[in-house]
Amino acid sequence: MEAKNLWRFLVLSIGVVLVLLVTWLPNKEALDCNLYSGWCTSKNRFYSSAHPNNPIKKPSFSTYHHHKNQHHESEIPQHPLDPLTIQEFNKVRTILLNYPLFKSSSSYTLNSVVLEEPDKKLVLKWKKGDLPLPRKASVVAYVKGDSHVLTVDLETGQVVSQEAITWSVSGYPTMTLEDMVGVLEVPLKSTEFNRSITKRGVNLADLACLPISSGWYGTQVEENTRLIKVQCYSKEGTVNFYMKPIEGVTALVDMNKKEVLSISDNGQNIPVANGINTDYRYSIQKLNGGELRMLNPISLEQPKGPSFTINGHLVKWANWEFHLRPDPRAGIIISQAKVRDPDTSKLRSVMYKGFTSELFVPYMDPTQDWYFKTYMDAGEYGFGLQAMPLDPLNDCPKNAYYMDGVFASSDGTPYLQPNMICIFESYAGDIAWRHAECPITDLKVTEVRPKVTLVVRMAAAVANYDYIVDWEFQTDGLIRAKVGLSGILMVKGTTYENMDQVPNQEYLYGTLLSENIIGVIHDHFITYYLDMDVDGSDNSFVEVNIKKQETSPGESPRKSYLKAVKKVAKTEKDAQIRLQLYDPSEFHVVNPLKKTRIGNPVGYKLVPGATAASLLDPEDPPQKRAAFTNNQIWVTPYNKSEQWAGGLFAYQSKGDDTLQVWSNRLLIF
């Protein structure tokens, strides 16, 4: 793509059983847990603007935290990309309460209230000491069956734009925590549902239920109705209720009316697994009749303190500087990442913005109570909303700094997401670079540099699965995006206790893991949005094909060698990449207007890890919604509104607003 254009990249990677989709974009106080739920409500975390004397609840920090006290009540933005403060959230709420759309409705939901970023050109020109850029909030609201996108000007106190978006055009906004918790009580008001539970021998007091996004399949019941499905587990005898599914009982709930539309009651002969010895807590587990022994503690000592500094949301470490903020949908947003040139001591831009754009988790079981389990964990549930407080010394090491998130509840009142992000220096005894001269040179030289990196971490517990998301910065200028998958499998109940009982011709859609338990085959696709600004915004995308070149007769004793053939993408189609083992390529983001000392364009190389692709039929409804997994790399023109690979409104979407749709425009530049 030519340098005058701004571009965005997506990359798909896989690690072991986890499929990772990395998206590149260059220019362009406890929780109050519901009795019947494994999910938690945020009702005790709200800071009410109606009671300004009530302080926001702060987390308690132990002495081993490295943490600057975050006085959230008095925070003032210091950077154009700083997240909304408590005062700004309360101001947005006051403005909206007086806006006709909300004054005329007795019931509405604010699904998202976040900073509306200033224009990129203005942010790039801004420097510390300049006058603040105008602060605006972007609001997604659900009112009377329609979604609305509004912009609130915090300086003028006015709603300066409003756009109504009906479901027929797109899907629905990300669920709020109140949505998720509120639907769980609905089935319990149904005699039919309770009867289905109790006849399986489960006490209603032992229920743990989950709100399961229903996807979209083109049925009549889906038309203009926000739907969700509720399935339950038994927590009798163990906290690991995920291993005790009540298989075959599914309630279809109208989220707006809080009504049960239908109940399926299948598999009445499938017992609830006993869950013996499945409690995962160290305090409960036994080994050979005694306590399970832990490893001896490992600690990184820094006698002079950490090498990084954090001023508000600006992080400085070694030769790196970047802006960091929590986000309710993306989780972590890294902005304006710059690296210092050792020759000139000047900061050079690398990436304007990077974050998790979407997580697609399709289960491979087409049966009635499983086919719809094709989650969009960011667009449906909110990746940041599901971020859990990090556990010091376990989630993050001794030298970590912790950053809270402040988000808006469904009525606009802000609440605290404590210890949501940690930042720390990591050293595991690895080598960053070394060289030793061999004896034949007669030079006694050994040069070894230890590998120390800066890590930005978040852990999101989306029901049974825990995602550990790391952004890692190296002193050589490398940025690495890493995702670890932990937690517990979502399993299916079965009558089988041993594989000997399974007929040869029967396919289980997974693996029999234990008595009455099947682990269903599934994927995890994680998509990153990366807006690269390598030495400025005038970047190009270059595919470097590694080709076999045969030598001419008599040219060389060699018959062949490898040749690098560069191709600058001119259209979006040129930059739709499907990786192939026997057709290797490198992928470069270059700035052709900036040259190195010897005349090469400066650039960064995109290095995918082990990769995978979705094998679902392109016309399968879940795959249409997650069409961004059709390729491993995408490059599209910069468009501020096109940041979410599954669309702005992913819940019950039809796939009409995805990265695939944007890329099908086939623009020529």
Active site residues: 377, 465
Interatomic CA distance for residues 644 and 628, integer angstroms: 10
Interatomic CA distance for residues 651 and 329, integer angstroms: 13
In which residue are the tokens 């809080």 written?
258
Q: Reduced to 3 states, what is the DSSP secondary structure of residue 595? A: strand
SS (HEC) of 191-213: HHHHHHHHCCCCCHHHEEEEEEE
Task: List, as one string, the DSSP characters of 243-274.
Answer: GSB-TTEEEEEETTTTEEEEEEE--TTPPPP-
The answer to whether 559 touches 400, Cβ cutoff 8 Å, is: no
Q: What backbone phi and psi angles, to 5 degrees, belong to 437?
A: -75, 135
Q: Shortest CA distance to 650 belongs to which of 325, 254, 260, 357? A: 357
Q: How far is CA 363 from CA 45, 135, 386, in A?
A: 33, 42, 20
- Exposed (0-12), middle (13-18) or buried (19+): which is 393, by Cβ within 10 Å? middle
Q: What backbone phi and psi angles, to 5 degrees, belong to 110?
A: -95, 105
Q: How far is CA 35 from CA 208, 387, 505, in A?
A: 8, 21, 42
Interatomic CA distance for residues 538 and 84, integer angstroms: 30
Q: What is the DSSP pairing of strand 320-327 with strand 314-317? A: antiparallel
DSSP state at residue 363: B
Q: Is the dihedral of CA 647, 648, 654, 657 positive or negative?
A: negative
The answer to whether 590 touches 620, Cβ cutoff 8 Å, is: no
Query: How large is the greatest C-alpha to C-alpha distance in the chain, in angstroms?
Result: 88
The answer to whether 61 touches 292, Cβ cutoff 8 Å, is: no
Q: Which two tokens stand for residue 33?
A: 């847990």
Q: Reduced to 3 states, what is the DSSP secondary structure of residue 93? A: helix
